[in-house]
Amino acid sequence: MLNFTAADDFGRIINPMIVEGQVHGGLVQGIGQALHEDAIYDTESGQLRTGSLMDYCLPRADNVPAFNLSTHETLCAHNPLGAKGCGEAGTIGAPAAIMNAVANALAPFGVTDLSMPATPGRVWQAIAEHSRA
């Protein structure tokens, strides 16, 4: 993945640097959800086996793409500043965008469906299952 473009409307932006940081953080969180985060339960006890950040990989700055951010200003009519919330905005669209990219990459192998997270093991297993069929 070379670039990731996010376009948002936050109304009047008071502090552009904080908004950019919120969007970057949300995008990385969404990428992590799509590629890494998994809730795995023990089949016998029902105990959550992935209950801490030590149990699965988290995306780091060196394995996420460059972000291109775009904002459009439509003032909010419900407060005097015209501002809107921006917290973790990237988390909404990032998982769908990443999973669509993964689906497009896997289509030549006959893989038409893959659940999140698209871990290397799940991708390999999906390709192996479809190549045997």
The CATH number linked to 104 is 3.30.365.10
pLDDT at res. 54: 86
Rounded CA gap, 97 and 50, in Å?
25
Structural domain of 51: 3-132
* Residue 86 · residue 14 · CB < 8 Å: no
Given a cut of 90, whether residue 55 has pLDDT beyond it is: no
Given a cut of 90, whether residue 88 has pLDDT beyond it is: no
Q: Provide the domain count of the chain.
A: 1
pLDDT at res. 79: 95
Average pLDDT over residues 30-51: 93
Rounded CA gap, 65 and 101, in Å?
13
* Torsion sign across C-alpha atoms 18, 21, 23, 25: negative
pLDDT at res. 43: 95
Higher pLDDT, 38 or 2: 38
pLDDT at res. 2: 75
> Any idea which residue has 């988290």 for tokens?
58
Closest CA to 35 of 98, 97, 86: 98
